[in-house]
Every structure is written in structure tokens, then in C-alpha cells.
Structure 1
Amino acid sequence: MSELLWQKPGVEVDPRIQAFLAGDDVLLDREFIQDDITASAAHARGLARIGILTGDEAEAMCRELAALSEDLKSGAFVLDERFEDCHSAIESRLVERLGDVGRKIHTGRSRNDQILVATRLWLKRKLGELRALCHECAGICLQRAEAEALPMPGYTHLQRAVVSSTAMWWAGFAEAFIDDTVRASQARDWIDANPLGSAAGYGVNLPLDREFSTQELGFGRMQVSPIYAQLSRGKFELAAVDALGAALLDLRRLAWDLSLFTTAEFGFVGLPPQYTTGSSIMPNKRNPDLVELMRATYASIAAARTELEQLLSLPSGYHRDLQFTKGALVHAFGRGLGALALLPNLLRGMQWKPERLALAFDDGMYATDKAVELAVSGLPFREAYKLAAVEPLPSYGAVPEASLAARVSPGGHAALGLEILKRRWSVVMG
């Protein structure tokens, strides 16, 4: 490992202690190093604005930072156990290439605000990916809601309840993913605050131009209080994980539906072959493993949220406990976005089986229609309810298409409100 940034003369570093302190930082920081490089370049230009660096020195730093970024992309430079973290790797590279000029990069900043700003930039990008995926899924659901109107059973308590339709099923998940798009946007806007220049949480003895770095890094606002910059660590991550969790909860319920609908007992849906796997022992099996793992993914987000919450039982100021927030964050977004990225093509490729849907209706599913029909004729609903329990068929009989045509309440099959949803969908990415 290269010389530690904080190492003091005469103090021997116990390698076992250092290994525990470093933990998985080098591996996790591979996620954040490009953002740390971006923020370091902004910091160098900011130091030049207040005379700490000359223009030539700042230009040389930015040039070397850009070269490091390219080396990371090509694999010529690897963040590994030679370094304590991404911060030390960046500084080591600058010192190697620029000597004493490179040693000036840490003036006016701390590893505390370095990881804050790198994480914030990373989260903004990940929430942007989340928003785009939710928007894409919502769009597919809207298209299929317009194109398909097959009668299908509606269930409560996993029991056949009333007549529903594939169009209503698609519209339900379309609106869910529209809301998830909004939630991702709101979370991104909320965390869009620049902590660079807050240093270790108490400011520095320099007139840093923090508004400059805010604009340079594309943040919506400056996080003014250095103390709040530290208080927000973990809090902002929780907001991002909550937005991710909202989408994964909807994915979980959708995956549950597909898990049921693809069974031989239901047989409502066929999945594209590449979305199923075989059994290692049973030649006859095609298993919906992907759907099942999509259903399971929310567990990772819930675990990350719990870990973040537990880590935040702290007083104000920086504490090393916060190092562990990175693992929870990287794991949640890695697994969550990975699952969501596979969903659009699954939604495009799944196919309904009309013949199996048609076999799933029974007379009892029209009882609610019968009760409403009697109520409309003037009978008190509780009386209508009792009569419909005995004679469940409405005037049009056991015809699912007629039941759907009568479902005129807003959002019901005959009044899906797809134009409303399409307008919402078209503006949420604005």
C-alpha cells in the first residue's frame, strides 16, 4: 500500500488494523473514483480562482486528472490494494506526475467532503438511470394497455373476484411506474446539493468559491452549512434508496403475478424462452428463475435501507461508521437497477394465452355486477347484495365482455383513462 495520507512520523501501522479500517473501500471506490476525479478537477479550478494554484498549475492538474480518467476506462490504471481508497489513489497519481504541484490538491478539502461530493454525483446519475428505466417500463405498459383488451379474472385474496382485463392490468402497472418515475426525479432534485468545500464539516480558512464549484459540477444548489453536509450523509442515501425501493416494490408485485400466471394451474402467460431456465435434473422443466429473482431483489434494497438507518444512530460531525454506507448503497443500486434493466424486454415479450384466460371465469364473478344492476334499479344495496349472492348473473348473463363494457367508473375497463396517463407519462421526464 502507498504511504497513508494521514500517517504520522514514528507511528507504526499494524497491517491487521489497517486491513480492517480499509475494509472493502478500494473495491467499492471503483464505483466513485470517476466522480472523485470530476470533483477534484473542479476543486483545482476553484483553488486557482483564489490564488492557491496558478493557472498553469490548475491546468496541469486537470490535464493529469483527465489522463487518469482515461487510464481507468482503458484498464491502464486499476484501483487496487496499493491504495487506501480512491482519494489517496488520485493524490498519489498527481504527486507522481506533478511532484509538489500535485501535493497542493488537498488544500481546502477533506476526504469527508471528497466522498460526499463523489457519492452525491454518483447518486444523481443512478437516480437518473432509475428514472429512465421506470419511464420506459411505464411507456411499454401504456402501449400494451392500448393494444390488448382481453378479459381476465380479477383476484382478491388469490380468489376469483370479478371480471377484469389485460388492459386494466397493464394500466395499473403503467401508473405505478409513472409514479416511480416521479419519485426518482423528486429524490434526485432533493439530493442535488453541492457539499464540496465543506471540508471536515466546519469550513476552512480560505475564501473558497463554492458557488463556482456548484455550477461547475452541475448541482442545483450549494449545501450551505458544513455541519449539515455531514448530517446529510446517509440521510440523502436513504432518500435515494427509498426511491429505488418504490420501483422494486412494484416490480416485486408484477413478478409475483407472472410467477402465478405462468404456472400450469393458471397458464395465463407465456414468457420468452430466454427468460426461463432449465432444471439440472428434470428434463421437462422450464423455470421462471429470472422472474423469481426479480421478485427477490427488493430484499437487497430493504437490507440496504436497514443498514443505512442503523449506521445513522450518531451525533453530529463525521464518524468512521459512515464508511459502511457505501457498501449498502452500491449493493442496493447494483442489484436493483440490474433487475429493472431486464424488465422492459420482458414486458415487451410476454404473451397472454386467451384460451386459458377464457376458461378461468365462473358465474360467481358476475355477482357484484348483478348487485350494482339491482341497486341502479332502486333496490337498497344491502338487499341487492343478498339477492346477487343467490342469483349472481346480471341481465346480460355470464359474458365477460359485457361486464367490462359496463365498468364505466374512471379507471375501469370502459373508462381506462389512458389519455390521462399518457399525458402524465409525457411530462414526467421534463
Structure 2
Amino acid sequence: MSGLLWHKDGVEVDPRIMQFLAGDDVLLDRELFLHDVQASQAHVQGLERIGLLGADECAGLLRELDALAADFRSGAFVLDARYEDGHSAIEARLIERLGDAGRKVHTGRSRNDQVLVASRLWLKARLDELIAHCTAAARVCLDRAASEALPMPGYTHLQRAVVSSTAMWFAGFAEALIDDARRAQDTRGLIDANPLGTAAGYGVNLPLDRDFTTAALGFARLQVSPVYAQLSRGKFELAALDALASALLDLRRLAWDLSLFTTAEYGFVHLPAAYTTGSSIMPNKRNPDVVELMRASYAAVAAARCEVEQLLSLPSGYQRDLQFSKGSIVHGFGRGLGALALLPGLLRALEWNESSMLAAIEPSMYATDVAIEQAAAGVPFREAYRRAAETAASSGEGRTPQGSLDARVSPGGAADLRLDELERRWQALAVAT
């Protein structure tokens, strides 16, 4: 490991201690590297604006930062164990290519605000992905809710309860995913604040043009207080993980449904072979592994959130403990977004088995309809409930699943799904993004 930014003459560096301090930062910084380069470009331009860099120096630094980003994308430059982290790699490259101009690039900033701004830009990009995945999945749900309404059993306590429909199932998850996307948008707005220029958490004795870097980096506002910039590290990551977890909770429940519905005992859903795998020993098996790993993905997000939360038992100001939050958000978002990215395709591809769903609708599932009808005719509901319970086994006489669905006229019910309202909410998301 070379080019330690903080090394002092006469201090021996123990490689074992350095390895512990660095951890997997270099690997994790590959995720943040291009954002770090982008922030460095804004900082360089800001230094020129206050006269600390000449025009030629600024132009040279911007040129080399562009070249570094291109080399990183192509693989010509690899962020590896030669460097302590991505920040030192950027500075080492600029010094190698530009000499003293490269040595000026760290003026007025700290690695603290470097990692803050790079991770903030990274989180904004990941939340954009989250919004896109949720809106794409909600779109599929809305389209399928509008195009097919096959009767199916509705369950409470995993017991057959009332007649439901595939349209109600899709509409329910459509609204959930729309809300998840809105929550991600709100969270993006919360964290859309520029920490660059707060240095180590107390500002610097330079008139940094922080308004300029805020606009240059596409932030909605300036994070004014350097103290709060440090306090927000971890806090904003938790907010982003909470938004991701909200979507993953809905995905987990959807995956649970499909895990049940694809079993032979239910037989409601058929998954294309691409979403299943074979058994290593049982030739007859096709396993819904994609669905099961979707169901499991929430665990990675919950673990990441727990780790970040536990790290935040800290006083104000920067503490090195916060280094560990980087791995948490990278791994949590990697697993969570990977699962959500597959959801729209899965929802498009699943096929309902209408005959199995109809066969699972038994006469007692009309008992609630009977009780409500009597109550509507003037019988006190508790009396109507008692009568319906006594005749539950014969409640289905003269009734059909479609008739039950057509009579469900309460807003949001099978006969009044209010898909037009959900469509307006979806369109509002699309406009906002």
C-alpha cells in the first residue's frame, strides 16, 4: 500500500495494522469511485473560482480526472491494494500526471467530506434505481389487474376465507409498489443535500464556493452545517435502507404468495422454466429458487440496516467506526436491488391456473356475502352473522364466484378496483422522476 495521505516522517507503518484499518475499503470504493471523481471535478472548479487554482491548472486537472474516469470504466486503471482507498488513488494519479497541480487538489477538503459526497451521490443513484424498479413492477401489476380478473380464493390466517380475484391480487401489490416508489422519492429528497466543503466537520478558513459545487453536482440544496454533515452520515444511509426495506417487505410477501401458489397443493401459478432450477438429485423437481431468494433478500437489507444503526452509538464529529457503514449499504443495496430488478419480468411471465383456483373455492366462502346481504336487508349484523354461520356449508347454493366478485362494490373491492385512481398515482410518479 503506497501513498498514505496522512503519513508522517519517522512513523513506522505496521502492515498488519494497515490491513485492519483499510479492511475492504479499496474494493468497496470501486462502487463509489466515479462519484468521487465527479466530486473532485466540482471541487477543482470551485478552487479556481476562489483563485486557488489557475485556469491552466484547473483545465489540466479536469482533463486528467476525465481520463481517470475513462480508464476506470475500461479497466485500464484498477483500484486495488496499491492504494489505501479511492481518495488516495485519485490524488496519487493526479500528482503522477500533473505534479504540483495534483498536490493542490486536496486544498480545503477532507477525506470525511469526500466520502460523504461520494456516498451521497451513490445513494441518490441507487434510490433512482429503486424508484425505477418499483414503478416498473407496479406498471405490470396495473396492466394485469386491468386485463384479467380470474376468481381465486382469498385467505386469512392461511385459511380459505372469501372469493377474491387475480385482479385484486395484482391491484394490491400495484398500490404497495407505488407507495414504495413514493417513499423512495421522498427519501431521495431528504438526502439530496451537498456536504462537499464541510471538510473534517468544522469548515475551513477559505471562502469555498459551496453554492457552486451544490449546483455543479446536481444537489437540490446545500447541507449548511459542517457538524450536521457529519451527524448525517449513517442517518441518511439508514433512511435510504428503510426505503429499500419497505419495497423488500412487499416483495417478501409477494414471493411468499408465489411460493405457496406454485406448490402442487395449491397449483394456482405456473412459473416459466427460466425462473426455476432443477434438483441435483431428484430428476422430477423444478424449484422456484428465484422466488425463494427474492423472499430472502429482505434479510440482507435488514442486516445492513442493523449494522449501520449499531454503528451510530457515537458522539458528534467524525469517528472511524463509520467506515464500516460503507460495506453495509453497498451489500444491502446490491442484494435488494438485484431482487427487485427481476420482479417486473416475473410478474409478466407468471401464468394462473384458472381451474385449480376455481376448484379451491368452496361453498362456505360465500358465508360472508350471505351475512352482509341480510344485514343490508335490515337484519342486525350479529344476527345475520349467526344465521350465516349456521348455514355456512350450504352458503354456495345458487352462487358463483363471479357473482360474488360482481357484488363486491365497496371502493377497492373486486367490482370497483379504482384502477383509474392507482393509474393517476402511477402517472404522478412517472412525472416526478
TM-score range, shorter chain: over 0.9
- Distance, in Å, in 1 between the alignment partners of 2:378 and 2:81 is 79
1:397: Cα distance to partner? 2.7
Q: 1:395 to 1:88 in 2, by over 3 A?
A: closer
CA distance in 2, matches of 1:384, 1:222: 62
- Displacement of 1:394 in angstroms is 5.5
Q: Could you list the per-position Cα deviations for residues 101-132 of structure 1 after superposition, in whole angstroms to 9, with x for gaps in the alignment? A: 10000000000000000000000000000001
Deviation at 1:272, TM superposition (A): 1.0
Q: Deviations over 1:62-108 (max 9, x none)?
A: 10000000000100000000000000000000000000110000000
Q: Which amino acid aligns with 2:186?
A: Q
8 Å Cα contact 1:396/1:402 also seen in 2: no
Structure 2 alignment gaps of length 5 or more:
none
Shift of 1:221: 0.1
The residue number in structure 2 matching 1:399 is 400
In 1: Cα distance, 2:240 partner to 2:191 partner: 8
What secondary structure is seen at the aligned counterpart in 2 of 1:26? helix
Report the equivalent of 2:262. 262
Match runs of 1:74-223 below 5 Å: 74-223=74-223
User: Partner of 1:320 in structure 2?
Assistant: 320
SS at match of 2:99: helix
Cα deviation code 1:220-265 (max 9, x no counterpart): 0000000000000000000000000000000000000000000000
Q: Give a deviation string over 1:282-312, Cα, whole Å, max 9, x none.
A: 0000000110000000000000010000000
- Give CA deviations for 1:148-179 in whole Å, capped at 9, x if unaligned: 11000000000000000000000000000000
Structure 1 residue aligned with 2:66: 66
Letter in 2 for 1:207: P
Report the Cα distance in structure 2 between the residues aligned to 1:242 and 1:214, rounded to whole angstroms: 25
Residue 299 (structure 2) aligns with: 299
SS at match of 1:163: strand
Residues 36-60 of structure 1: CA deviation (Å, up to 9, x unaligned):
0000000000000001000110110
Q: Amino acid of the residue matched to residue 280 of structure 2?
A: S
Tell whether the 8 Å contact from 2:364 to 2:396 is kept in structure 1 after alignment.
no
Name the residue aligned to 1:421: 422
Partner of 2:337: 337
Matched residue SS, 2:31:
coil
Give the SS at the match of 2:415: helix
Q: Secondary structure of the equivalent of 2:153? A: strand
8 Å CA contact retained: 2:372, 2:381: yes
Q: Percent identity?
A: 70
- Counterpart position of 2:411: 410
Q: For the residues of structure 1 that align with 2:363 and 2:119, how far apart are their CA atoms?
A: 57
| SS of match in other structure, 1:155 | strand
Q: How far, CA to CA, are the matches of 1:417 and 1:396 in structure 2?
A: 30
Residue identity in the other structure for 1:227? V
Aligned to 2:30, the other structure's residue is in SS state: coil
Relative to structure 1, the CA distance from residue 93 to residue 181 in structure 2 (aligned partners, 3 Å threshold; closer, same or farther) is same
User: For the residues of structure 1 that align with 2:214 and 2:396, how far apart are their CA atoms?
Assistant: 67
The letter for the 1-side match of 2:344 is: P
Contact 2:123/2:240 (8 A) holds in 1: yes
How far residue 3 of structure 1 moved from its aligned partner, in angstroms, is: 2.2
Q: How many residues align?
A: 430
Name whichever of 394-403 and 338-347 sits farther off: 394-403
What is aligned with 1:24?
Answer: 24
TM-score normalised over the length of structure 2: 0.98
Q: Which residue of 2 aligns with 1:276?
A: 276
C-alpha separation in 1, matches of 2:407 and 2:101? 77
Of 397-406 and 83-92, the range deviating more from structure 2:
397-406
What letter corresponds to residue 16 of structure 2 in structure 1? R
Tell me the distance in 2 between the aligned counterparts of 1:391 and 1:316: 67
2:231 corresponding residue in structure 1:
231
Query: Could you give the per-residue CA deviations for residues 312-343 of structure 1, whole angstroms, max 9, x where no partner exists?
Result: 00000000000000000000000000001111
- Between the aligned partners of 1:138 and 1:388, the Cα distance in structure 2 is 37
In structure 1, the partner of 2:285 is 285
The DSSP-based 3-state class of the residue aligned with 1:32 is: helix
- For residues 73 and 157 of structure 1, the distance between their equivalents in structure 2, rounded to whole angstroms, comes to 51
Unaligned 5+ segments in structure 1 are none
Letter in 2 for 1:397: G
Please, what TM-score do these two structures have when normalized by structure 1?
0.99
